Chain A
Amino acid sequence: MFFLDHIWLIPLLPALGAAIMFFFGRKLQKATVSAVCVGAVAMAFVFACFAVWQYTGYAHDNPGKPFEKIAYTWMGTDTDHMNYVKRDGTLAPCHADAGFLLDPLSAIWLLFVTGVGTLIHIYSTGYMAHEGGYYRFFGYLNLFMFSMLTLILGNNYVLMFVGWEGVGLCSYLLIGFYFHRQSATTAANKAFIVNRIGDAGFLLGMFTIAWYFGSLRLTEITHMARSGHFAIGDPIITAATLLLFVGACGKSAQLPLYVWLPDAMEGPTPVSALIHAATMVTAGVYMVARSNALFVLAPGSMKTMAFIGAFTALFAASIALVQNDIKRVLAYSTVSQLGYMFLALGVGAFAAGAFHVFTHAFFKALLFLGAGSVIHAMSGEQDMRNMGDLHRRIPITHWTMFIATFAIAGIPPFAGFFSKDEILWQAWSSEGGAYRLLWLVGYGTALMTAFYMFRLMFLTFHGQARMSHEVEPHIHESPKSMTVPLIVLAICAVSAGWLGWPHSLGGSNRFEKFLEPVFAREAEVFQAEGKAAQLAAGRKEEEHTNPMEYFLMAFSIAAAVSGFGMAWKAYRDAGKGYEEPIAAATPQVYAVLLNKYYVDEAYDYAFTGRRKVKGVRLGVMGLGDASSWFDSHVIDGIVNGWGRTTRLFGTFSSWWDKWIIDGLLVNGPAILSRMLSYPLRLLQWGLVQWYALVMVIGLVGFVFYYAVR
């Protein structure tokens, strides 16, 4: 059990790598930096594999039991006297451990995060080879791995939040990696602040849970939530889960907090692949799946989540239809795919959501890395209008990306087909069909996905060469360090879906079976709570053999194929100044889509205040201006006014003192007496001779008087 008992080493290894970069990175050779950082993540991957392997043994002995390892008490004291009164009037401690939790759910995340992470680290050694700040880049990447692994392995919400904010920080640092560019640093700030809005929701959700359950430990909460003491639709649990979902919206880029993700493409491309496609953005899905015991008790939250997920999927896919920047298309595609995942969670298909996260990690990382390879070959060009006909020049990138495109478009037997189809089927079949509208939305999204992905492929790799003559001679296939990860990911993008080969196609869906201990207990809750609950969760295993399922499957394959066909028709021969079919049909719609529904502009007017409405700033900056004015004019005005009044009073007092008190009352009598005494003063005017004369006269008079008498 060495690897399980030392599970804390998994996040610690990349943390050490980051620490080494922090202290010594500047003096290290590039080769050393690569060795340390790639080595740390690769070791974490190996460690994770062994830990999961040992966990399967552990789970065999303790069926359905997660493995927990507590390193030390982090928040609070061991005596638990730092307490508060929870909702039922009893006490609960403020407590969170530095503890780690391994169960099937975290195992899956652990494996693909370290696995994909390692590949992307290797890729980055090639991609970043000629960039400045090499050690800084790898230090941040390792720090990201540490945060992500903490998020996955934390055994309580607070530690999960540590990873949650940590990945946000790394995302900020890496989006702003090219910190000379104003656009990059602005995008970084936007990412962090929008995420913080979500985090505020997460925080309040956590507090609600702590108030209601008196604990923040995941296993305890799950246990209590499944104990049957809580009714389905409990308003407090609904509030808590909605707040958690706000957090998930921030991190996983759902409406209305998705705005940061497209801008996050300012970062280096491996970052987009690792953080903004494969791993970090799925943290929201992970958190909701982790809290499945709570969400199951809150059908209102589930419904909200399903609707927001579905409409985010459609919304983002529609924007992706017309974007010209290769990374932006992929960014909106990510938002859209994340929407699918939340749709799955919302209809209660937690395993399907997790499955799509898993397959998406491979094919979307591959797409981004492929895009990176294209950009690398094109000397930094990202605009697809200036590409075309690259398939012969960079064949490995071309073929691997095509595999990923097949996967995301949902063409069997590539990975995406299985996971996406599972989600669509769950959406169709759950709650006796109440979510059929969402199925339709999901289906429409699938069609759009196929179209915009094949559009991307044709514009980039086929048609006529549209690049400038300076760029053209330099086009080259990427080095091995970049192509090998592409090939490995391509293999995964083909085969990862087979883990979830559905029953209806004669498979055994090992993926879902593996996750059963995490989600299975729901079934018991439903049985106890009756049919309503079952409907709410929408898990209808027995319907898996429904002929409808085969029909829908064929239907969604048809969507993928028709998306391909439409893209083929429109872009196969795209030359300079090619025509966009949407622009040709409805230029107004095209303009709206190209400008992303003007959401960024609206936010800038209404919320941030970066743009003024008729010269007036609204939003937070407007409030800030108003507060500043209020502070300096009103509050400080009162203080200074008080001071001035006092001084005025002082001046008046001093005048009063000088002229009235001292002048009239004190000096007045003095002047009066002086005036009155003036006659007497005449006698005393200080001339000594005069005094002497008077004295002599007096003396003479005196003597004379006595003499005469």
Chain B
Amino acid sequence: MHNHILSIILFTPLVGALLLIFVPKEKKDAIRWIANIFALAGLLVSIPLVPWFWAQRFESGFMFMEGTPNNWIPSIGAGYVLGIDGISFLLIMLTTLLGWISILSSWTAIENRVKEYYIWFLVLQTGMLGVFMALDFFLFFVFWEAMLVPMYLLIGIWGGPRKLYAAIKFFLYTLLGSVLMLLSVLFLYFYNFHQTGQYTFSIQALYKTAPLIFHDPAYGSTFAILLFLAFFLAFAIKVPMFPFHTWLPDAHVEAPTAGSVILAGVLLKMGTYGFVRFALPFFPDVVMHPKVRGWMIFLSIVGIIYGALVSLMQKDMKKLVAYSSVSHLGFCTLGIFALNAAGLSGSVLQQINHGISTGALFLIVGILYERRHTREISEYGGISNIMPVYATITMIMFLSSMGLPLLNGFVGEFTILQGTFMENWKWAAWAVPGVILAAAYLLWLYQRVFFGTVTNPKNEKLHDLTPRELLTFAPLVIIAFWIGLYPKPFFQILEQPVNQIVYTVRGKDYPGVQAVNASIRPRDEAGNAAAVQTALNQAALNQAKGTK
């Protein structure tokens, strides 16, 4: 169990999807029950991971490893290798939780083609989990691309009026990025062969050779920057960073509620995860290149401000929330490219926070949409008179999203901004207006939808949250308060992997690295001076013991 926990988590949803194939499509309630049971099972099987991981949170490197490199398709060097560190652990827990919540929230929202809907949703779940677990680039790429298809279908079949446009835009845009990334990886793959004489897609192997390209006279820094840009494009589209974000509002507006929740909650995190897992360790010198880093920060800041400004003027609630995602994800990428422990920890935590808060915001919009079939802000007003419980939960999640202290958003934003400020105060100063604008667009939205008197007669008979709907919000609200009140466990989980990345990127000259060196056991033995240093120290220590 302990050794195969990742595979179990990964394939539980897929088993559910396979089972659903054999259920006749007329039995809608049976299908719903089975899908919900498997979604819940997917969450439940991931829960043992929490205590197990917690016990090892100060260990460095990947844990719960499964498979060996090249064991899947030995001839090309592809392997079924899974493993997680603190970053992927948190994202996996987020995925299993949001997966269950989204499937639960679809019970009444989806009425036609129920069977296919749930099958695709469960397949999507496996695809997303695979992305966060894979330690082999081939395997990663399979999941990365595989998860596009179900999402495409979810938008294209169960979406709104412009669903085809949105689905195709989403699919093509994302595909465009990943193709270039594939090219770049193929280069890394052959470069690795050139260096080690071995064909492998193992990420840990590529970690060792990819950073060398920058200094390799045969290719040089410009070439390494180009390789990085290919990765950047793939991830920047996924995040999405300004100016690659326009697929997002369309996809969100057209997607069914549950699709939006997953899209915002998890799919976008694949982009930021990609930066953290691949782009930074593969190209440390490129990332530290002042021009490259400057552009990354610039795009992040533009995303924060611009996303918020566009969000402010939206007339469609869902579009407003979608643009707010652009702004929030700007904070995440800002934290990543701050490239210190504070910024990176804050960024990963903010990714979780965004999943919680924005996931909830899409559920919130979905609840009104399901009742009234419109998302126009002007159609509403005075809703808190009719749906007080709903209004309260909305207020809490809005506050969480705008970063009010003691709720989750603040902890992430504060840490990111603090980390960024320490690198360059101007970056933080430019990003801070995003915090003000977030309050403006969310409170204004709240005022227009919830406050005032009910002016539209169609809104007079709306019913408040059902117990099922309340159940979908409960875990999100609880986690929002948990992270806000006691984020230490999260920071502890992130301490090792984040410092490892900072260490890889900034090298041994960075004082932050020196201080934490003692606690880090480097992920790989080759090429890392500090690892050698530690080994030497260890050897000296042993020798000293021996002589005694």
B440 sits at the interface (CB 8 A) = yes
B48 sits at the interface (CB 8 A) = no
Contact of B418 among A192, A207, A628, A631 (CB under 8 A): A207
Contact flags (1/0) for B369-399 with A, using CB distance below 8 Å? 0000000000000101100100010000001
Interface residues of A in 68-82 (CB under 8 A from B): 72-79, 81-82
Number of residues from B at the complex interface, CB < 8 A: 70
Contact of A77 among B245, B435, B488 (CB under 8 A): B488
Q: Are B436 and A624 in contact (CB under 8 A)?
A: no
Q: Which chain A residues border B494 with CB–CB below 8 Å?
A: 82
Closest Cβ of chain A to B398, distance in Å, is 11
Closest B residue to A185 by CB, please name it.
Answer: B451
Q: Are B312 and A620 in contact (CB under 8 A)?
A: yes
With contacts A81-B495, A82-B495 taken as known, whether A189 is within 8 angstroms of B433 at the C-beta atoms is no
Closest Cβ of chain B to A660, distance in Å, is 27
Contact flags (1/0) for A617-628 with B, using CB distance below 8 Å? 000110111011
Q: Are B421 and A627 in contact (CB under 8 A)?
A: no
Contact of A74 among B313, B433, B487, B519 (CB under 8 A): B487
Closest Cβ of chain A to B195, distance in Å, is 32
Q: Are B247 and A83 in contact (CB under 8 A)?
A: no
Closest Cβ of chain B to A441, distance in Å, is 31
Q: Are B341 and A82 in contact (CB under 8 A)?
A: yes
Contact flags (1/0) for A183-227 with B, using CB distance below 8 Å? 001101100110011011001100110110000000000000000
Contact flags (1/0) for B343-385 with A, using CB distance below 8 Å? 1010000000000000000000000000000000000001011
Q: Are B488 and A200 in contact (CB under 8 A)?
A: no
> Which secondary structure characterizes the binding site on chain A?
helix
Interface centre among B382, B406, B432, B511 (most CB of A within 10 A): B406
Segment of A113-121, A157-165, A408-416 in the binding face: A157-165
Q: Are A90 and B511 in contact (CB under 8 A)?
A: yes
Contact flags (1/0) for B273-315 with A, using CB distance below 8 Å? 0000000000000000000000000000000001001101110
Contact flags (1/0) for A31-71 with B, using CB distance below 8 Å? 00000000000000000000000000000000000000000
Q: Are B340 and A85 in contact (CB under 8 A)?
A: yes
Contact flags (1/0) for A426-452 with B, using CB distance below 8 Å? 000000000000000000000000000
With contacts A82-B341, A207-B417, A639-B173 taken as known, whether A185 is within 8 angstroms of B447 at the C-beta atoms is yes
Interface residues of B in 382-427 (CB under 8 A from A): 382, 384-385, 388, 392, 399, 404-406, 410-411, 414-415, 417-419, 421-423, 425
Contact flags (1/0) for A98-136 with B, using CB distance below 8 Å? 000000000000000000000000000000000000000
Q: Are A89 and B440 in contact (CB under 8 A)?
A: no
Q: Are B419 and A203 in contact (CB under 8 A)?
A: no
Closest Cβ of chain A to B319, distance in Å, is 10
Q: Are B414 and A81 in contact (CB under 8 A)?
A: no
Q: Are B444 and A189 in contact (CB under 8 A)?
A: yes
Interface centre among A72, A76, A158, A193 (most CB of B within 10 A): A76
Contact of B452 among A77, A165, A180, A624 (CB under 8 A): A180
Q: Which chain A residues border B512 with CB–CB below 8 Å?
A: 83-85, 91
A600 sits at the interface (CB 8 A) = no
Q: Are B452 and A200 in contact (CB under 8 A)?
A: no
Contact of B495 among A22, A79, A91 (CB under 8 A): A79
Q: Which chain B residues border A22 with CB–CB below 8 Å?
A: 392
B443 sits at the interface (CB 8 A) = yes
Number of residues from A at the complex interface, CB < 8 A: 59
Contact of A196 among B246, B435, B495 (CB under 8 A): B435
Q: How many residue pairs bridge A and B at CB < 8 Å? A: 180
B21 sits at the interface (CB 8 A) = no
Q: Which chain A residues border B405 with CB–CB below 8 Å?
A: 161-162, 165-166
Contact of A211 among B243, B425, B433, B443 (CB under 8 A): B425
Contact of A79 among B433, B452, B519 (CB under 8 A): B519
B437 sits at the interface (CB 8 A) = yes
A179 sits at the interface (CB 8 A) = yes
Contact flags (1/0) for B243-258 with A, using CB distance below 8 Å? 1011100000000000
Q: Which chain B residues border A86 with CB–CB below 8 Å?
A: 422
Q: Are B511 and A91 in contact (CB under 8 A)?
A: yes
B538 sits at the interface (CB 8 A) = no
Interface centre among A81, A83, A85, A182 (most CB of B within 10 A): A81
Q: Are B345 and A82 in contact (CB under 8 A)?
A: yes
Q: Are B421 and A81 in contact (CB under 8 A)?
A: no
Q: Are A211 and B487 in contact (CB under 8 A)?
A: no
With contacts A81-B516, A166-B405 taken as known, whether A200 is within 8 angstroms of B432 at the C-beta atoms is yes
CA distance A161 to B451 in the complex (A): 28
Q: Are A185 and B422 in contact (CB under 8 A)?
A: no
B169 sits at the interface (CB 8 A) = yes
With contacts A74-B486, A162-B406 taken as known, whether A203 is within 8 angstroms of B495 at the C-beta atoms is no
B199 sits at the interface (CB 8 A) = no
Q: Are A185 and B247 in contact (CB under 8 A)?
A: no
Interface residues of B in 468-486 (CB under 8 A from A): 485-486
A20 sits at the interface (CB 8 A) = no
Q: Are A631 and B310 in contact (CB under 8 A)?
A: yes
A636 sits at the interface (CB 8 A) = yes
Interface centre among B309, B414, B515 (most CB of A within 10 A): B309
B533 sits at the interface (CB 8 A) = no
A169 sits at the interface (CB 8 A) = yes
Closest A residue to B415 by CB, please name it.
Answer: A94
Q: Which chain A residues border B384 with CB–CB below 8 Å?
A: 179
CA distance A158 to B382 in the complex (A): 35
Closest Cβ of chain A to B394, distance in Å, is 13
Q: Which chain A residues border B128 with CB–CB below 8 Å?
A: none
Q: Which chain A residues border B399 with CB–CB below 8 Å?
A: 169
Q: Are B247 and A639 in contact (CB under 8 A)?
A: yes
Q: Which chain B residues border A166 with CB–CB below 8 Å?
A: 404-406
B107 sits at the interface (CB 8 A) = no
Q: Which chain A residues border B415 with CB–CB below 8 Å?
A: 75, 82, 94
CA distance A185 to B446 in the complex (A): 10
Closest Cβ of chain A to B324, distance in Å, is 13
Q: Are B435 and A84 in contact (CB under 8 A)?
A: no
Q: Which chain A residues border B76 with CB–CB below 8 Å?
A: none
With contacts A77-B492, A193-B440, A639-B247 taken as known, whether A204 is within 8 angstroms of B447 at the C-beta atoms is no
Contact flags (1/0) for B494-517 with A, using CB distance below 8 Å? 110011000000000011100110
Q: Are A631 and B342 in contact (CB under 8 A)?
A: no
With contacts A76-B488, A94-B415, A639-B247 taken as known, whether A82 is within 8 angstroms of B511 at the C-beta atoms is no
CA distance A86 to B512 in the complex (A): 10
CA distance A73 to B488 in the complex (A): 7
B453 sits at the interface (CB 8 A) = yes
Q: Are A83 and B340 in contact (CB under 8 A)?
A: yes
B439 sits at the interface (CB 8 A) = yes
B64 sits at the interface (CB 8 A) = no
A235 sits at the interface (CB 8 A) = no
Q: Which chain A residues border B487 with CB–CB below 8 Å?
A: 74-75
With contacts A203-B432, A207-B428, A208-B425 taken as known, whether A179 is within 8 angstroms of B310 at the C-beta atoms is no
CA distance A199 to B173 in the complex (A): 38
Q: Are B439 and A196 in contact (CB under 8 A)?
A: yes
Q: Which chain B residues border A211 with CB–CB below 8 Å?
A: 421-422, 425
Q: Which chain B residues border A479 with CB–CB below 8 Å?
A: none
With contacts A91-B511, A193-B443 taken as known, whether A84 is within 8 angstroms of B341 at the C-beta atoms is yes
The 8 closest A-B pairs by CB, nearest first: A84-B422, A162-B405, A207-B421, A624-B313, A624-B312, A94-B342, A636-B246, A185-B451
Q: 12 extra interchain contacts, Cβ-Cβ under 8 A, other than A76-B488, A166-B405?
A: A75-B487, A82-B494, A162-B406, A166-B404, A179-B450, A186-B447, A188-B443, A196-B436, A203-B432, A207-B417, A207-B421, A620-B437
12 contacts between A and B (CB under 8 A): A77-B491, A83-B341, A84-B343, A94-B419, A165-B410, A179-B450, A185-B447, A185-B452, A193-B440, A203-B417, A628-B310, A635-B245
**Chain B contacts to A: CB under 8 angstroms:** 169, 172-173, 243, 245-247, 306, 309-310, 312-314, 340-343, 345, 382, 384-385, 388, 392, 399, 404-406, 410-411, 414-415, 417-419, 421-423, 425, 428-429, 432-433, 435-437, 439-440, 443-444, 447, 450-453, 485-488, 491-492, 494-495, 498-499, 510-512, 515-516, 519
